[in-house]
Amino acid sequence: MRTFVVGDIHGGLKALVQVLERTPYSKKDRFIFLGDYVDGWSDSAPVISFLLKFSEHQKCIFLRGNHDELLTGYLETGEANPMWLEHGGVSGKESYDALSENDKQHHILFFRNLENYFIDKKNRLFCHAGFANIYGPEHEYYSNTVYWDRTLWEMVCSLDPSLSPEDSKYPKRLKNFKEIYIGHTPTTKIDRTVPTNFANVWNIDTGAAFLGPLTILDIDSKEFWQSDAVAQLYPNEKGRNK
Ligand SMILES: [Mn+2]
Protein backbone atom coordinates (compact mmCIF):
# COMPACT_ATOMS: atom_id res chain seq x y z
CA MET A 1 0.00 0.00 0.00
CA ARG A 2 1.25 3.46 -0.88
CA THR A 3 0.24 6.61 0.96
CA PHE A 4 -0.27 9.81 -0.98
CA VAL A 5 -0.66 13.21 0.59
CA VAL A 6 -2.65 15.93 -1.21
CA GLY A 7 -2.13 19.68 -0.79
CA ASP A 8 -4.68 22.53 -0.53
CA ILE A 9 -7.24 22.24 -3.38
CA HIS A 10 -9.19 25.50 -2.91
CA GLY A 11 -12.08 24.79 -5.27
CA GLY A 12 -9.82 23.73 -8.14
CA LEU A 13 -11.64 20.55 -9.18
CA LYS A 14 -10.07 20.55 -12.68
CA ALA A 15 -6.61 20.50 -11.07
CA LEU A 16 -7.60 17.69 -8.70
CA VAL A 17 -8.89 15.54 -11.57
CA GLN A 18 -5.78 16.29 -13.64
CA VAL A 19 -3.23 15.50 -10.92
CA LEU A 20 -5.07 12.27 -9.98
CA GLU A 21 -4.86 11.21 -13.64
CA ARG A 22 -1.11 11.76 -13.48
CA THR A 23 -0.64 9.88 -10.19
CA PRO A 24 -0.04 6.11 -10.59
CA TYR A 25 -2.26 4.90 -7.72
CA SER A 26 -4.12 1.63 -7.28
CA LYS A 27 -7.23 0.61 -5.34
CA LYS A 28 -5.09 -0.46 -2.37
CA ASP A 29 -3.50 2.94 -1.85
CA ARG A 30 -4.41 5.53 0.73
CA PHE A 31 -4.86 9.27 0.29
CA ILE A 32 -4.43 11.82 3.07
CA PHE A 33 -5.94 15.19 2.18
CA LEU A 34 -4.45 18.13 4.09
CA GLY A 35 -7.60 20.29 3.96
CA ASP A 36 -8.69 23.61 2.42
CA TYR A 37 -10.90 21.92 -0.16
CA VAL A 38 -12.87 25.12 -0.73
CA ASP A 39 -12.53 28.90 -1.39
CA GLY A 40 -10.52 30.11 -4.35
CA TRP A 41 -11.59 28.70 -7.75
CA SER A 42 -15.29 28.31 -8.62
CA ASP A 43 -15.67 24.56 -7.91
CA SER A 44 -15.80 24.47 -4.09
CA ALA A 45 -18.98 22.39 -3.74
CA PRO A 46 -18.11 20.16 -6.76
CA VAL A 47 -14.72 19.37 -5.09
CA ILE A 48 -16.56 18.03 -2.02
CA SER A 49 -19.03 16.05 -4.18
CA PHE A 50 -16.03 14.56 -6.03
CA LEU A 51 -14.23 13.65 -2.78
CA LEU A 52 -17.37 12.01 -1.34
CA LYS A 53 -17.56 9.78 -4.45
CA PHE A 54 -13.80 9.18 -4.58
CA SER A 55 -13.77 7.96 -0.97
CA GLU A 56 -16.41 5.31 -1.76
CA HIS A 57 -13.79 3.23 -3.58
CA GLN A 58 -10.49 4.57 -2.19
CA LYS A 59 -9.17 4.75 1.36
CA CYS A 60 -9.11 8.45 2.31
CA ILE A 61 -8.34 10.51 5.38
CA PHE A 62 -9.76 14.00 5.21
CA LEU A 63 -8.21 16.66 7.45
CA ARG A 64 -9.74 20.01 8.33
CA GLY A 65 -8.40 23.27 6.90
CA ASN A 66 -9.20 26.75 8.18
CA HIS A 67 -11.24 27.49 5.03
CA ASP A 68 -13.32 24.34 5.52
CA GLU A 69 -14.12 25.49 9.04
CA LEU A 70 -15.00 29.04 7.91
CA LEU A 71 -17.30 27.77 5.17
CA THR A 72 -18.98 25.31 7.57
CA GLY A 73 -19.69 28.26 9.88
CA TYR A 74 -21.47 30.00 7.01
CA LEU A 75 -23.45 26.88 6.07
CA GLU A 76 -24.59 26.34 9.65
CA THR A 77 -25.42 29.91 10.63
CA GLY A 78 -25.92 31.79 7.33
CA GLU A 79 -23.51 34.44 8.61
CA ALA A 80 -20.68 35.37 6.28
CA ASN A 81 -17.59 36.62 8.11
CA PRO A 82 -16.29 39.67 6.15
CA MET A 83 -12.68 38.63 6.68
CA TRP A 84 -13.49 35.18 5.27
CA LEU A 85 -15.20 36.73 2.22
CA GLU A 86 -12.11 38.82 1.58
CA HIS A 87 -9.85 35.74 1.67
CA GLY A 88 -11.51 33.52 -0.93
CA GLY A 89 -14.82 33.10 0.87
CA VAL A 90 -16.86 34.75 -1.91
CA SER A 91 -16.21 31.84 -4.29
CA GLY A 92 -17.03 29.26 -1.62
CA LYS A 93 -20.22 31.09 -0.70
CA GLU A 94 -21.37 31.43 -4.34
CA SER A 95 -20.67 27.77 -5.02
CA TYR A 96 -22.69 26.67 -1.97
CA ASP A 97 -25.53 29.14 -2.52
CA ALA A 98 -26.14 27.32 -5.84
CA LEU A 99 -26.26 23.86 -4.20
CA SER A 100 -29.49 22.00 -3.38
CA GLU A 101 -30.51 21.82 0.28
CA ASN A 102 -30.14 18.03 0.25
CA ASP A 103 -26.56 18.15 -1.06
CA LYS A 104 -25.77 20.95 1.38
CA GLN A 105 -26.76 18.77 4.36
CA HIS A 106 -24.61 15.96 2.97
CA HIS A 107 -21.62 18.30 2.65
CA ILE A 108 -22.11 19.72 6.16
CA LEU A 109 -21.79 16.15 7.45
CA PHE A 110 -18.54 15.76 5.47
CA PHE A 111 -17.16 18.98 6.99
CA ARG A 112 -18.20 17.97 10.53
CA ASN A 113 -16.46 14.61 10.14
CA LEU A 114 -13.09 16.09 9.13
CA GLU A 115 -10.21 15.24 11.44
CA ASN A 116 -7.94 17.90 12.92
CA TYR A 117 -4.79 15.80 12.55
CA PHE A 118 -3.63 12.24 11.91
CA ILE A 119 -0.56 10.33 13.15
CA ASP A 120 0.33 7.16 11.24
CA LYS A 121 1.95 3.96 12.53
CA LYS A 122 5.42 5.26 11.66
CA ASN A 123 4.89 8.37 13.83
CA ARG A 124 4.40 10.72 10.90
CA LEU A 125 2.06 13.64 11.63
CA PHE A 126 -0.36 15.11 9.10
CA CYS A 127 -2.21 18.36 9.76
CA HIS A 128 -3.37 21.35 7.75
CA ALA A 129 -1.20 24.09 9.23
CA GLY A 130 1.09 23.18 12.14
CA PHE A 131 1.12 23.20 15.92
CA ALA A 132 2.68 25.33 18.63
CA ASN A 133 2.71 23.15 21.74
CA ILE A 134 6.14 21.59 22.33
CA TYR A 135 4.52 18.22 23.15
CA GLY A 136 2.48 18.02 19.95
CA PRO A 137 -1.00 18.80 18.61
CA GLU A 138 -2.90 16.67 21.11
CA HIS A 139 -1.70 19.08 23.83
CA GLU A 140 -2.93 22.26 22.14
CA TYR A 141 -5.13 24.34 24.43
CA TYR A 142 -7.04 25.60 21.38
CA SER A 143 -7.75 22.68 19.05
CA ASN A 144 -8.09 25.01 16.04
CA THR A 145 -4.37 25.87 16.24
CA VAL A 146 -3.59 22.86 14.01
CA TYR A 147 -5.42 24.41 11.09
CA TRP A 148 -4.34 28.03 11.63
CA ASP A 149 -0.75 27.93 12.90
CA ARG A 150 2.01 29.44 10.79
CA THR A 151 4.77 29.41 13.39
CA LEU A 152 5.86 25.82 12.72
CA TRP A 153 6.50 26.50 9.04
CA GLU A 154 8.12 29.91 9.62
CA MET A 155 10.35 28.34 12.25
CA VAL A 156 11.68 25.57 10.00
CA CYS A 157 12.11 27.97 7.07
CA SER A 158 14.50 30.02 9.16
CA LEU A 159 16.11 27.19 11.14
CA ASP A 160 19.93 27.03 11.03
CA PRO A 161 20.53 23.86 8.94
CA SER A 162 23.75 23.10 10.83
CA LEU A 163 21.84 22.72 14.13
CA SER A 164 21.48 19.03 15.07
CA PRO A 165 18.47 17.58 16.94
CA GLU A 166 20.83 16.86 19.85
CA ASP A 167 21.58 20.57 20.27
CA SER A 168 19.72 22.08 23.23
CA LYS A 169 18.54 24.95 20.99
CA TYR A 170 16.92 22.60 18.48
CA PRO A 171 13.11 23.15 18.43
CA LYS A 172 11.53 20.57 20.76
CA ARG A 173 8.33 20.60 18.73
CA LEU A 174 10.03 18.89 15.81
CA LYS A 175 11.33 15.99 17.88
CA ASN A 176 7.84 14.57 18.56
CA PHE A 177 7.50 13.12 15.08
CA LYS A 178 9.53 11.32 12.43
CA GLU A 179 8.03 13.55 9.76
CA ILE A 180 5.42 16.32 9.69
CA TYR A 181 3.25 17.00 6.62
CA ILE A 182 1.45 20.32 6.31
CA GLY A 183 -0.23 22.66 3.82
CA HIS A 184 -1.71 26.11 4.61
CA THR A 185 1.27 28.38 3.85
CA PRO A 186 1.92 28.19 0.10
CA THR A 187 5.49 27.38 -0.92
CA THR A 188 5.04 30.02 -3.64
CA LYS A 189 5.55 32.59 -0.85
CA ILE A 190 9.19 31.48 -0.82
CA ASP A 191 9.26 31.22 -4.64
CA ARG A 192 8.91 27.44 -4.90
CA THR A 193 6.24 25.49 -6.76
CA VAL A 194 7.30 22.01 -5.56
CA PRO A 195 6.84 20.23 -2.20
CA THR A 196 9.36 21.84 0.12
CA ASN A 197 11.20 20.22 3.02
CA PHE A 198 13.02 21.89 5.93
CA ALA A 199 14.17 19.80 8.93
CA ASN A 200 11.53 17.02 9.15
CA VAL A 201 8.65 19.20 7.88
CA TRP A 202 7.19 18.79 4.39
CA ASN A 203 4.95 21.49 2.95
CA ILE A 204 2.71 20.19 0.14
CA ASP A 205 0.71 23.39 -0.48
CA THR A 206 2.25 24.53 -3.74
CA GLY A 207 -0.06 27.53 -4.13
CA ALA A 208 -3.02 25.99 -6.00
CA ALA A 209 -5.25 28.83 -4.77
CA PHE A 210 -2.96 31.40 -6.38
CA LEU A 211 -0.60 30.89 -9.34
CA GLY A 212 0.82 27.47 -8.42
CA PRO A 213 -0.14 23.86 -9.25
CA LEU A 214 -1.87 21.25 -7.07
CA THR A 215 0.48 18.56 -5.76
CA ILE A 216 0.23 14.90 -4.69
CA LEU A 217 3.26 13.34 -2.96
CA ASP A 218 4.09 9.69 -2.17
CA ILE A 219 5.27 9.97 1.44
CA ASP A 220 7.67 7.00 1.26
CA SER A 221 9.45 7.63 -2.05
CA LYS A 222 8.92 11.44 -1.98
CA GLU A 223 8.01 11.20 -5.65
CA PHE A 224 5.35 13.77 -6.55
CA TRP A 225 2.90 14.68 -9.31
CA GLN A 226 1.39 18.06 -10.13
CA SER A 227 -1.44 19.60 -12.08
CA ASP A 228 -0.82 22.45 -14.47
CA ALA A 229 -0.80 25.85 -12.79
CA VAL A 230 -4.43 25.99 -11.61
CA ALA A 231 -4.89 29.52 -12.99
CA GLN A 232 -4.42 28.08 -16.51
CA LEU A 233 -7.26 25.63 -15.92
CA TYR A 234 -9.61 28.47 -14.90
CA PRO A 235 -8.60 31.14 -17.47
CA ASN A 236 -11.65 33.33 -16.83
CA GLU A 237 -11.20 33.48 -13.08
CA LYS A 238 -8.88 35.33 -10.77
CA GLY A 239 -8.61 32.75 -7.95
CA ARG A 240 -7.51 34.24 -4.66
CA ASN A 241 -5.56 37.45 -4.48
CA LYS A 242 -5.39 37.19 -0.69
MN1 LIG B 1 -4.98 27.03 2.07
Per residue in 220-235, pLDDT (tens digit) is 999 999 999 999 999 9
CB contact set of 29 (below 8 Å; sequence gap of 6+): 1, 2, 3, 4, 58, 59
* pLDDT value at residue 144: 97
For ligand 1, the distance from its centroid to the CA atom of residue 116, given in whole angstroms, is 14
For ligand 1, the distance from its centroid to the CA atom of residue 238, given in whole angstroms, is 16
Q: Which residues surround ligand 1, an ion (CB under 5 A)?
A: 8, 36
Average pLDDT, the chain: 97
For ligand 1, the distance from its centroid to the CA atom of residue 9, given in whole angstroms, is 8
* pLDDT value at residue 98: 96
Question: What integer is the mean pLDDT of 81-86?
Answer: 95
For ligand 1, the distance from its centroid to the CA atom of residue 72, given in whole angstroms, is 15
> Model pTM?
0.97
Question: What integer is the mean pLDDT of 53-74?
Answer: 98
Q: Which pLDDT band holds residue 20 (cuts at 50, 70, 90)?
A: very high
For ligand 1, the distance from its centroid to the CA atom of residue 185, given in whole angstroms, is 7
* pLDDT value at residue 119: 98
DSSP collapsed to 3 states, the chain: CCEEEECCCCCCHHHHHHHHHHCCCCCCCEEEECCCCCCCCCCHHHHHHHHHHHCCCCEEEEECCHHHHHHHHHHHHCCCCHHHHHHHHHHHHHHHHCCCHHHHHHHHHHHHCCECEEECCCCEEEECCCCCCCCCHHHCCCHHHHHCCCHHHHHHHCCCCCCCCCCCCCCHHHHHCCEEEECCCCHHHHCCCCCEEECCEEECCCCCCCCCCCEEEECCCCCEEECCCHHHHCCCCCCCCC
For ligand 1, the distance from its centroid to the CA atom of residue 207, given in whole angstroms, is 8
Question: What integer is the mean pLDDT of 114-143?
Answer: 98
Amino acid occupying residue 191: D
Rounded Cα–Cα distance for residues 231 and 209 (Å): 8
For ligand 1, the distance from its centroid to the CA atom of residue 183, given in whole angstroms, is 7
* pLDDT value at residue 240: 84
241, pLDDT greater than 80: no
For ligand 1, the distance from its centroid to the CA atom of residue 228, given in whole angstroms, is 18
For ligand 1, the distance from its centroid to the CA atom of residue 144, given in whole angstroms, is 14
